[in-house]
Structure 1
Amino acid sequence: MLTNDEIKLLIKKYALQNAVKYKKTPQAGAVMGKVMANPELRSRAKEITGLVNEVLVEIEQMNHEAREEELKSLAPELIEELKEKKEPDKGLPPLEMNGPLVMRFAPNPNGPPTLGSARGIVVNSEYTRKYHGKLIIRFDDTDPATKRPMLEAYDWYLDDCRWLGAVPDEVVIASDRIPLYYEVAKELIRKDGAYVCFCEQEVFKALKDEKEACPHREQGVEKNLEFWREMLSGCRREQEAVLRIKTDIAHKDPAIRDWVAFRIIKTPHPRPEVDEKYCAWPLLDFEGAVEDHLLGTTLIIRGKDLADSEKRQRYVYEYMGWTYPKTMHWGRVQIHEFGKLSTSGIKKAIAEGIYTGWDDPRLPTIRAIRRRGIQPEALRKFMIDLGLGETDISLSLDTLYAENRKLVDPVANRYFFVWDPVEMNIEGAEPKIAKAPLHPSRGGMREIPVGTTVLVCRNDVDTLKAGERLRLKDLCNIQITGISPLTAKFIGTDMDLVKKEKARIIHWAPPDGLKVKVLSPDGEYTGIGERGIEREVDKVVQFERFGFVRIDSVSGDEVVAYFTHK
């Protein structure tokens, strides 16, 4: 395991390389993305975030020449890499079109869409929009047992597609089309391209690994048709029989050898229209292969880890005389804030009460991202800018936040929110109406009634010293007279204290303000916010010195907000 000193040196190399390349102090997220590409470090994200911040403070004090000299000393190979490496093009590459473009995004609705789903939704919709093509959303819901669909998830996907500006031209649900797959399977059997196998899984694997054929492989078309009818009728038990596609039993890749197209599952499907109607269910490679043909798909974009799917599916296409769609692949994207969260893992954690629901701000679901106040335009641009490279990448959400900040900063009203509040009595102050700008550049003022007592953040209090002079933002100047209890005296209202003495400015809130709870990926913040926040439901505002939040709900004098980003 790398020591902290070794990690810090690694961070420094990457941070210096970034600083030399762009001639400015790097963003923490850019450095984190480089560091977290090391699999050994992915479980230590919180610890590494602190180390990154330490290093960036150090680099900020250096000029460009000093940074370059330091990088030459620590990692001369990274200097050379800068000379050789061209900045990759952002955005989606152009397509070579031969006829109409038909694309599909095909999720399994066993949970709501995630940030990974957003990439598929956005890229497919962007291409079909650009080339006047057709976008199909196809629900691959033919596994009622292992990856059991959630009834709510069908609508969640379509709602999130609309939110992302990716309204489909057609919606297809695979579990509605099972008879179509049965017809193709029957035709494959007739063409001697598929057979019913009764081998136990371990037995078939042993034969496959030795490149030996299953004893049922050459039992003949009529026998296979008879056994296939038995699979469909329900008289065969689960795991007793499967339908296999005949491939090359000596293929160099064992995953291609006589793969399973159908299996028997007697678990009812959650959709009432389907329920117990079928007991022979297609596996994804078969169902997807047939649907791509039936729907006229002309371009498939999938992860490079799914390249084997194409190799398997091409056997079906060759038997049936179909033309396989053009395919493109992209590498995995690892977002270090979320680690390795799977849909099944999230579902289990929600059931155990670890997460409050699918829109918990700690989760990488689009529902959670939306509730936090991320704008669809920001998420679209973030996904498009990732491009279609096959290289696996690890990155931070800082880039998404930067895009979102451009959208919300010009329109988000400003308010005071004091978390972990401490009461401060101000001697000599008189009750008044404080006036503060709703936005620094758009004009408009908010009025805050305040008396001789205000609330300030405990983390500000922890840094105060008796005798210190400072300014309460948009209110007055004070001098601290006591720490416990916290007291101060009024010393004026002009800004000379800040300009000449460079006094600190801290924010505050009136004691009779609103109770505010902010839910964030890092935990929960509770405190008091000024009145006026209650009028901002479903809008993103900026809590000064805290960050942007989306006001989620108001009940009486209590406000719940979701943290967006700094």
Structure 2
Amino acid sequence: MNDDLRERVEREAEKHALLNAVKHESDADVGAIMGPLMGENPDFRPHGDEIPGVIGGVIGRVNDLAYEEKRERLEDLAPDELAEIEAEDEEDEHDLPSLPNPDDYDEVRMRCAPNPNGPWHVGHARMPAVIGTYRDRYDGWFCVRFDDTDPETKRPDLEAYDAILEDLEFLGFEPNEVFRASDRLETYYDYARELIEVGGAYTCSCTGEEFSELKNAGEPCPHRDKDTDTVLAEFEDMVAGEYESGEMVLRVKTDIEHKNPALRDWVAFRMIDTPHPREEASEFRCWPMLDFQSGIDDHLIGITHIIRGIDLQDSAKRQQFVYDYFDWEYPEVVHWGHVQIDAYDVKMSTSTISERIEAGELDGWDDPRAPTLQSLRRRGIRGEAIVDAMVGLGTSTSDVDLAMSSIYATNRELIDDETDRRFLVRDGNQVPLGGSPPAEANPPLHPDHEDRGVREIPVGDSVLLEPADLPGREERIWLKGLGCFQFTRDTLQYTGEEIDVVREGDVDVVHWVPARESVPVRMRTIEGDVTGRAEPGVAELEADEMVQFERVGFVRIDRSGDEDEETVVYYAHD
């Protein structure tokens, strides 16, 4: 091996040793770099027997450097390769893939565009969770834009505007700006006029059936070649409310022979007789279709990246015609599949949930049986747990399944350490006590935090046990926080035995409550209401406190009670 070749080998070996060391944040390994070294430099292969001896010293010198020194040296030798490593490392830190071409824009700008026809169900959380996460990741911007330009078939609910913003806050995000499309009608009219003037739109009075036949046959509408002045005049009549619903529409002129009939001369504006529920918009009768309204807004607001369902691919294609007429650049688009969520009997649909509420089958949007964010919030599920689960789904174009158990698992991690314990017995059986047990039980408030203290539970002369926990004749059980008892002659006789009987595996540990001084509890669950009795201290808890009923699950206190009035709790998960 001549000196020139040796120098090249040493230089390339240093680069690959640094790449290996920086990527894995460890010492470089001879075996790990031989493959890439020889692959990039095929002229080294005839000297394969000599190369390990040449690069050994180089690798030793690299390994003597501190990590930052290795990184600085690599930045001098191979800045592009270092950038790739750091990009891969950044990707590994995120559940979401990188957005397409984020560096092509001064700022990543995204939008969450709900229809305010009701509060959000669980599936709705995916969009704000993902775009909010991207906003934070890229130090970007996102808005909430209420796409409320359909006052008839997807009629807005006036209370939903604020409810959705509250749901967004619950998830942990605050939009940079909020828009209501129904405030922007004049803007859409102005761009419709411009579109007409450049020959990109025409008014059409065909019935839906007539146009459908023409469209499917690839034949032009007879109104397609109207002169611009006529189209403008008829559009002004639409704006003035001179036509009835279904009498006139404004169509975007596309390609009447396009291979996809859904893209042929689509409707941009139509007449709607039903007044908008917002007073500010109630006088308007000429309303834009979502593809026109959303397309105009995305450009004017400066949206750089759109995330939408895979079933809405035609929306981008329709809007592209408008963008081409105006010579605008279309935003980057990420399509994803639908999310399916288990655990609920109620369909994940705003209209279905609303119908069930109106029929009296659900108490409201926060009924524990309703698959809504309001319901999860009332049950004590944290927004962070929902966001974590939604982000974990990624942005696959395939439909994905979300198990509520994944949300519960994350929520459990968030609340377990700070949540005190209590006893609740459901459908309890009353059993007398004998043998002079202690007058008071003192189980810990939290098994991992002795410093929080203990509960003070009066024992009395009898306890309530859940039916499944009743022991057989002469069997022993350990009442948590109280002691060992043997079931004899329909009585639990206190034995005074030490906790060793539990450790030896001979005695089951069960929870209990005093029969006389326990308090009534109604636990609202996803399957329906459950009644029971809890230790007396539960009645003193404040609304919104989280509690773990031992061996039952975590609940949120909804309304405190007393010995006579029920304490109402909402079940979160086990």
| TM-score bucket of the superposed structures, by smaller chain | 0.7 to 0.9
Find the residue that maps to 2:395 and give its secondary structure. Answer: coil
2-side partners of 1:491 and 1:239: how far apart?
84
Structure 1 residues 429 and 143: CA distance shift in structure 2, 3 A? farther
Once the two structures are TM-superposed, the CA of residue 510 in structure 1 deviates from its matched residue by 1.6
Q: Which residue matches 1:279?
A: 285
Aligned match for 2:534, one of 529, 532, 540: 529
Q: Which residue matches 1:500?
A: 504
Find the residue that maps to 1:137 and give its secondary structure. Answer: strand
Structure 1 residues 395 and 123: CA distance shift in structure 2, 3 A? closer
Q: Which amino acid aligns with 2:460?
A: G
Structure 1 residues 90 and 362: CA distance shift in structure 2, 3 A? farther
Larger Rg: 2
1:563 paired to 2:563: no
Q: Which amino acid aligns with 1:286?
A: F
2-side partners of 1:209 and 1:163: how far apart?
47
Once the two structures are TM-superposed, the CA of residue 431 in structure 1 deviates from its matched residue by 6.0
Q: Which amino acid aligns with 2:197?
A: R
Q: Which amino acid aligns with 1:116?
A: G
Q: Which amino acid aligns with 1:523?
A: G
Q: Which residue matches 1:378?
A: 385
Q: Which residue matches 1:545?
A: 551
1-side partners of 2:537 and 2:236: how far apart?
69
Question: Residues 113 and 366 of structure 1 are in contact (CA less than 8 Å); yes or no, is this contact kept in structure 2?
Answer: yes
1:317 paired to 2:326: no
Residues 107-506 of structure 1 aligned to structure 2 (within 5 Å):
107-275=114-282, 277-338=283-344, 340-430=347-437, 432-443=439-450, 444-461=453-470, 464-482=471-489, 487-500=491-504, 502-506=506-510
1-side partners of 2:485 and 2:159: how far apart?
55
1-side partners of 2:436 and 2:154: how far apart?
64
Q: Which amino acid aligns with 2:524?
A: L
1-side partners of 2:226 and 2:497: how far apart?
95
Residues 40-51 of structure 1 aligned to structure 2 (within 5 Å):
none
Percent identity, aligned pairs only? 47
Q: Which residue matches 1:31?
A: none
Question: Residues 479 and 512 of structure 2 are in contact (CA less than 8 Å); yes or no, is this contact kept in structure 1?
Answer: yes
Question: Residues 115 and 364 of structure 1 are in contact (CA less than 8 Å); yes or no, is this contact kept in structure 2?
Answer: yes
Question: Residues 111 and 153 of structure 1 are in contact (CA less than 8 Å); yes or no, is this contact kept in structure 2?
Answer: yes
Find the residue that maps to 1:188 and give its secondary structure. Answer: helix
Once the two structures are TM-superposed, the CA of residue 387 in structure 1 deviates from its matched residue by 1.4
Q: Which residue matches 2:88?
A: none
The number of aligned residues is 473
Q: Which residue matches 1:17?
A: none
1-side partners of 2:195 and 2:275: how far apart?
27
Once the two structures are TM-superposed, the CA of residue 449 in structure 1 deviates from its matched residue by 0.9
1-side partners of 2:559 and 2:409: how far apart?
25
Once the two structures are TM-superposed, the CA of residue 343 in structure 1 deviates from its matched residue by 0.7
Residues 99-114 of structure 1 aligned to structure 2 (within 5 Å):
99=105, 100-114=107-121
CA deviations over 1:52-105 (Å, ceiling 9, x no partner) = xxxxxxxxxxxxxxxxxxxxxxxxxxxxxxxxxxxx996111233212111110
1-side partners of 2:529 and 2:405: how far apart?
21
Once the two structures are TM-superposed, the CA of residue 546 in structure 1 deviates from its matched residue by 0.4
Q: Which amino acid aligns with 1:471?
A: W
Find the residue that maps to 1:382 and give its secondary structure. Answer: helix
CA deviations over 1:195-226 (Å, ceiling 9, x no partner) = 11111112211221111122211122222112
Question: Residues 475 and 493 of structure 1 are in contact (CA less than 8 Å); yes or no, is this contact kept in structure 2?
Answer: no
2-side partners of 1:336 and 1:295: how far apart?
36
Q: Which residue matches 2:15?
A: none
Q: Which amino acid aligns with 2:298?
A: D
Q: Which residue matches 2:64?
A: none
Question: Residues 145 and 179 of structure 2 are in contact (CA less than 8 Å); yes or no, is this contact kept in structure 1?
Answer: yes
Question: Residues 542 and 560 of structure 2 are in contact (CA less than 8 Å); yes or no, is this contact kept in structure 1?
Answer: no
CA deviations over 1:236-268 (Å, ceiling 9, x no partner) = 111111111111111111211111111111211
Aligned match for 1:510, one of 502, 511, 514: 514
Question: Residues 430 and 451 of structure 1 are in contact (CA less than 8 Å); yes or no, is this contact kept in structure 2?
Answer: no
Find the residue that maps to 1:446 and give its secondary structure. Answer: coil
More displaced stretch, 552-561 vs 170-179: 552-561
Q: Which amino acid aligns with 1:148?
A: R
The TM-score with structure 2 as length reference comes to 0.80
Question: Residues 537 and 552 of structure 1 are in contact (CA less than 8 Å); yes or no, is this contact kept in structure 2?
Answer: yes
Find the residue that maps to 1:130 and give its secondary structure. Answer: helix
Find the residue that maps to 1:403 and give its secondary structure. Answer: helix
Q: Which amino acid aligns with 2:162?
A: D
Find the residue that maps to 1:455 and give its secondary structure. Answer: strand
CA deviations over 1:337-384 (Å, ceiling 9, x no partner) = 237421111101100011111111122211111111111221221122
Question: Residues 205 and 247 of structure 2 are in contact (CA less than 8 Å); yes or no, is this contact kept in structure 1?
Answer: yes
Aligned match for 2:525, one of 520, 528, 535: 520
Question: Residues 110 and 142 of structure 2 are in contact (CA less than 8 Å); yes or no, is this contact kept in structure 1?
Answer: yes
1-side partners of 2:505 and 2:342: how far apart?
42
Q: Which runs of 5+ in 1 are unaligned?
A: 1-87
Once the two structures are TM-superposed, the CA of residue 536 in structure 1 deviates from its matched residue by 4.2
Q: Which runs of 5+ in 2 are unaligned?
A: 1-91
Cα RMSD of the aligned pairs, angstroms, is 1.7
1-side partners of 2:270 and 2:113: how far apart?
21
The TM-score with structure 1 as length reference comes to 0.81
Q: Which amino acid aligns with 1:460?
A: D
Find the residue that maps to 1:328 and give its secondary structure. Answer: strand
Once the two structures are TM-superposed, the CA of residue 114 in structure 1 deviates from its matched residue by 2.1
Q: Which amino acid aligns with 2:291?
A: D
Structure 1 residues 143 and 406: CA distance shift in structure 2, 3 A? same
2-side partners of 1:493 and 1:437: how far apart?
20
Question: Residues 92 and 385 of structure 1 are in contact (CA less than 8 Å); yes or no, is this contact kept in structure 2?
Answer: yes
Structure 1 residues 338 and 246: CA distance shift in structure 2, 3 A? farther
CA deviations over 1:428-449 (Å, ceiling 9, x no partner) = 3456110001111112211111
Question: Residues 541 and 548 of structure 1 are in contact (CA less than 8 Å); yes or no, is this contact kept in structure 2?
Answer: yes
Higher relative contact order (CA 8 A, sep 6+): 1
Question: Residues 90 and 386 of structure 1 are in contact (CA less than 8 Å); yes or no, is this contact kept in structure 2?
Answer: no
Question: Residues 334 and 393 of structure 1 are in contact (CA less than 8 Å); yes or no, is this contact kept in structure 2?
Answer: yes
1-side partners of 2:179 and 2:276: how far apart?
17
